[in-house]
Amino acid sequence: MTGGAGYIGSHASKALARAGYQGIVLDNLSAGHREAVGDAELIEGEVGDVTLVRHILRDHQIAAVMHFAALLDVGASVRDPIGYYRNNVGGTLGLL
């Protein structure tokens, strides 16, 4: 899962763990916290790093991908629309 160290992603990660799944979290920790990941494996990196995402998918038995690695501060998105576009749109396209 991407963004699994953030608020929503960390709750999804914990719910998966309670259901018996071993999660793998890809997060750059820019808005999340290492402790929030719980028992899931944390890989620090960018969702838009296609080489890293390929490596994770190839080296782990990934059954599903949950994507929570979006920037969501409206004020900051107005100040930096290119950065938000790069992360939210470009990162998602790279993941896909």
**In-domain check, residue 30:** yes
Per-residue pLDDT of the chain (96 residues; tens, 9 = 90+): 999 999 999 999 999 999 999 999 999 999 899 999 989 999 999 998 999 999 999 999 898 999 999 998 999 999 999 999 999 999 999 888
Sign (positive or negative) of CA dihedral 82, 7, 92, 54: positive
**In-domain check, residue 78:** yes
**In-domain check, residue 1:** no
The CATH code of the domain that includes 80 is 3.40.50.720
Q: If we measure between CA atoms, which residue out of 26, 25, 54, 48 comes closest to residue 38?
A: 25
What CA–CA distances, in Å, run from 26 to 31, 34, 67?
Answer: 13, 11, 9
Domain containing residue 88: 7-95
Instruction: Name the one residue in this structure whose structure tokens are 């963004």.
Output: 3
DSSP state of 45: S
